Structure 1
Amino acid sequence: VRMIQRILLLCSALLVAAAVAVSGVIGFIGLVVPHLMRMWLGSDHRAVIPGSVLAGAFLLLIADTLA
């Protein structure tokens, strides 16, 4: 079971990498940042939505600066 989990994780990571390579970083940031904010801030939408906006803008700014 552990081996199958690792293989599936590797396959999903490769598929995500291919999708980001095709569609660009903005879609990846749009998917990842709200999930990270929900983990860090909890499930209260009054905090998650503004946190996602600010963190997404900051992450995109950093990614664009480094690129």
Structure 2
Amino acid sequence: MTEMQTPLTWTRIIIIMAIAAVVTGVGVGALGTLIGLPPWLPGAALASVLGVSAAFLIQRRNAQRNLR
């Protein structure tokens, strides 16, 4: 049996990445406040999450393109 998948549009990609950025920023910011981390750390965590997300999505898109 094959599963039906909805296509991953750029709008959905942007929404997913925005949610991941907000969740990461809030979580790391709160943790940093509790244990006294420097203020630039939430920004660095946000950038790493967005970078990893973008790399994963690009790899997935390329893999799907190669299957056609």
What is the TM-score when the length of structure 2 is the normalising length?
0.47
| Structure holding more helix per residue | 1
- Structure showing greater Rg: 2
Higher relative contact order (CA 8 A, sep 6+): 2
What is the TM-score when the length of structure 1 is the normalising length?
0.48
